[in-house]
Amino acid sequence: MKKQLINYETMIKITKGISHSRDPEEVVLITVEGIKTALDAKGCALFLINRKTHELEMAASFGLSDKYINKGPLSAMKSISQSLEDGPVAIYDVGDDPRIQYAEEAKEEGIVSILSVPVIIRGKVAGALRVYTSEPWEFTLEDVNFVQALAQIAGMAIEMSRLYQGQKEAIGILKAMREAKVSRSKRRTPYEGVPVSVPLSEATKKAS
């Protein structure tokens, strides 16, 4: 019950933080930090798929070293790809599982078990949220559901943040266009202010 309470409180804290943020980077950072802390895991990271390179690009991480983060490109087709196709995947021992792309680097980092769940945006798999532990961990259904729920929340928040950023940029463009139009309408011409009753030729002579 205590663990369930902690996870519930963490979910409230994370969702509250996400609801107050309109920055996609801050959204994912809040998520990975909250999950890592709640599960007392070694680390947590959120990846998004690059559709051009078919690589998993790290959007944010917490608890992992720079050396491990920069170990090399992560292939969406080689690195626990099953979690991008069939749903959550729990790996008990990274040193004895062919689904791990960088097994040696993971062992050097002190990673023993990994939980990977898909991040869904607009009904499509957009990436993966992964939890790393320094001890063998048999992830329970409760653990999986907790991480999966936050992955879904993060996916929705990322999409909303992107829409907000796009809307903000569109408003900025429209505002700039409107200001430019107003500026053009206020420009004075050489004959501006000349009475209508005065012929243009006479006004030109007076000006010369």
Q: What's 40's domain CATH number? A: 3.30.450.40
* Cα dihedral sign, 32-150-136-58: negative
pLDDT beyond 60 at 187: no
Q: Decide if 172 is inside a domain.
A: no
pTM for the full model? 0.73
Q: Which band of pLDDT confidence, cut at 50, 70 and 90, is reported for residue 113?
A: very high
**136 alpha carbon, distance to own chain's centre:** 29
pLDDT of res. 43: 96
How many CB atoms are closer than 10 A to CB 74? 18
Q: Decide if 178 is inside a domain.
A: no
pLDDT beyond 50 at 183: yes
Side chain identity at 150, as an amino acid letter?
L
Tens of pLDDT, residues 115-153: 999 998 888 898 999 999 999 999 989 889 989 998 988
Query: How many domains would you assign to the chain?
Result: 1
Strand partners, 43: 132
How many CB atoms are closer than 10 A to CB 124? 10
- Note whether 46 and 119 are within 8 A (CB): yes
Q: Which of 24-38, 72-86, 130-144, 156-170 has the lowest mean pLDDT?
A: 156-170
Q: Which domain holds residue 118?
A: 2-163
DSSP 195: -
Q: Decide if 88 is inside a domain.
A: yes
* Cα dihedral sign, 116-139-94-28: positive
Q: Decide if 206 is inside a domain.
A: no
Helix (H, G, I), strand (E, B) or coil at 61: strand
Tens of pLDDT, residues 161-176: 666 555 455 555 556 6
- Note whether 65 and 108 are within 8 A (CB): no
pLDDT of res. 208: 47
pLDDT beyond 80 at 38: yes
Q: Which of 64-73, 125-134, 184-193 has the lowest mean pLDDT?
A: 184-193
Instruction: List the one residue out of 43, 110, 115 whose CA is nearest residue 82.
Output: 115
pLDDT beyond 50 at 200: no
What are the start-end ranges of the H helices in the chain?
2-19, 24-39, 66-69, 82-85, 103-109, 141-185, 200-207
Q: Which band of pLDDT confidence, cut at 50, 70 and 90, is reported for residue 108?
A: very high
